[in-house]
């Protein structure tokens, strides 16, 4: 029995050593904010060479070189950094660019994201599998799963004997570029997980913002990215926008802002995002 335990421990140590050794050989480029956060969550941030413009968290990632000045990337720009592996959100990189990367001998993985608790856990494991650190991925997945269970309990307790708030998410980059989140979007899923109800049920994904739609939705809370609120001039300027004062959110000055990388990434920081939003809903 003792010999069996010793052999098992030796096998585990050998597996961990192999995993760590292999990870140290990786030269990684990430082309998505959620992927970048997950790589750092797996403890492999030191092997990151460069990222895309959306990767601003954690701070170490924000300080890395960018493969381009916008969301558009080229194979030449990526290969300049001499990576061994490139990871990107599914559908974000043109097929021709992917082919060029793979033909140069560099691995390319397109990672699909599903905006749910199960989807977040699968997302973490998929990235760990792509980086060939599956055992490490399972550890992080289990830790995240436990945190999500604890957060879910907190949200349910908070909802007891309370009205579920109607929440309208407005995406803004100044008054000329505004849209609202419908069913099936990442924001719709996050609002639900935090104990709210999306005020928009008539359509899916995002549609242009209108005053009429705002008044008809009559949200209890207006949710925005922090940069979006700033682009409109801040809280007082938002409250002066046409129709806002006619809503419950406007009457009660219930404008909630959050960091976008925390709010929509659905990865290792999902428990943190849910609890922060939940507190904002019910403060």
Q: For residue 71, what is the enclosing H or E element? A: none
Q: Report the residue count for the chain.
A: 283
Q: Which of 85, 112, 139 is the last residue of a domain?
A: 112
What long-range pairs does 125-131 form, CB within 8 A, spacing at least 24? 127/35, 127/38, 127/39, 127/42, 127/87, 128/42, 130/85, 130/87, 131/23, 131/26, 131/28, 131/39, 131/42, 131/44, 131/85, 131/87
Q: What is the pLDDT of residue 23?
A: 54
Q: How far is it, in rounded angstroms, from Cα 101 to Cα 220? A: 48
Q: Output the domain CATH number for residue 183.
A: 3.40.50.1980
Q: How far is it, in rounded angstroms, from Cα 99 to Cα 245? A: 52
The answer as to whether 124 is a domain residue is: no
DSSP symbol at 111: E
The answer as to whether 139 is a domain residue is: no
Cα–Cα separations (whole angstroms), residue 84 to 28, 49, 213, 246: 6, 10, 48, 55
Q: What is the pLDDT of residue 87?
A: 98
Q: How far is it, in rounded angstroms, from Cα 271 to Cα 45? A: 21
Whole-structure pTM value? 0.88
Query: Strands 48-51, 28-30: parallel, antiparallel or unpaired by DSSP?
Result: parallel
Token pair of 232, please? 């409109």
The answer as to whether 203 is a domain residue is: yes
If asked whether residues 271 and 167 sit together in one domain, one would say: yes
Q: How many domains, the chain?
A: 2
Q: What is the edge-to-edge ordering of all strands in the sheet holding 48-51?
A: 48-51, 28-30, 85-89, 107-111
Q: What is the pLDDT of residue 24?
A: 59
Domain that holds residue 105: 2-112
Beta strands in 209-266 (DSSP E): 221-225, 255-258
The answer as to whether 190 is a domain residue is: yes
Q: How far is it, in rounded angstroms, from Cα 45 to Cα 55? A: 12
If asked whether residues 165 and 270 sit together in one domain, one would say: yes
The answer as to whether 119 is a domain residue is: no
If asked whether residues 88 and 16 sit together in one domain, one would say: yes
Q: What 3-state class would DSSP assign to 197? A: strand
The answer as to whether 133 is a domain residue is: no
If asked whether residues 175 and 277 sit together in one domain, one would say: yes
Q: What is the pLDDT of residue 69?
A: 80
Residues of the chain falling short of pLDDT 70: 1-24
- Cβ-based burial of 109 (10 A; exposed 0-12, middle 13-18, buried ≥19): middle
Q: Could you read off the pLDDT of 35-64 as tens digits, one per residue?
A: 999 999 999 999 999 999 999 999 999 999
Residue 251 contacts residue 280 (beta carbons within 8 Å): no
The answer as to whether 237 is a domain residue is: yes
If asked whether residues 278 and 165 sit together in one domain, one would say: yes
If asked whether residues 96 and 169 sit together in one domain, one would say: no
Token pair of 176, please? 């000329």
């Amino acid at each position: 029995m003792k010999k069996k335990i010793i052999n098992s421990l030796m096998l585990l140590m050998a597996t961990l050593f192999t995993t760590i050794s292999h990870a140290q050989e990786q030269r990684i480029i990430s082309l998505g904010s959620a992927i970048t956060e997950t790589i750092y969550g797996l403890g492999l941030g030191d092997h990151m060479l460069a990222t895309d413009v959306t990767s601003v968290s954690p701070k170490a990632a924000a300080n890395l070189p960018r493969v381009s000045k916008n969301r558009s990337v080229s194979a030449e720009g990526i290969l300049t950094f001499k990576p061994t592996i490139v990871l990107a959100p599914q559908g974000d990189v043109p097929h021709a660019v992917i082919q060029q990367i793979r033909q140069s001998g560099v691995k390319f993985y397109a990672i699909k994201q599903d905006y749910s608790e199960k989807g977040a856990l699968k997302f973490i494991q998929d990235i760990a599998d792509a980086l060939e650190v599956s055992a490490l991925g399972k550890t992080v997945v289990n830790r995240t799963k436990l945190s999500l269970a604890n957060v879910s309990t907190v949200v349910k307790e908070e909802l007891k004997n309370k009205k579920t708030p109607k929440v309208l998410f407005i995406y803004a980059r100044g008054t000329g570029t505004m849209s609202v989140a419908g069913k099936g979007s990442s924001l719709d899923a996050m609002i639900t997980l935090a104990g709210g109800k999306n005020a928009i049920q008539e359509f899916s994904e995002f549609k242009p913002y209108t005053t009429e739609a705002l008044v008809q939705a009559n949200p209890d809370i207006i949710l925005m990215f922090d940069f979006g609120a700033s682009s409109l001039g801040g809280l007082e300027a938002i409250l002066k926008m046409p129709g806002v004062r006619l809503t419950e959110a406007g009457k009660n000055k219930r404008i909630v802002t959050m960091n976008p990388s925390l709010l929509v990434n659905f990865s290792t920081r999902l428990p943190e995002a849910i609890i922060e939003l939940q507190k904002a809903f019910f403060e």
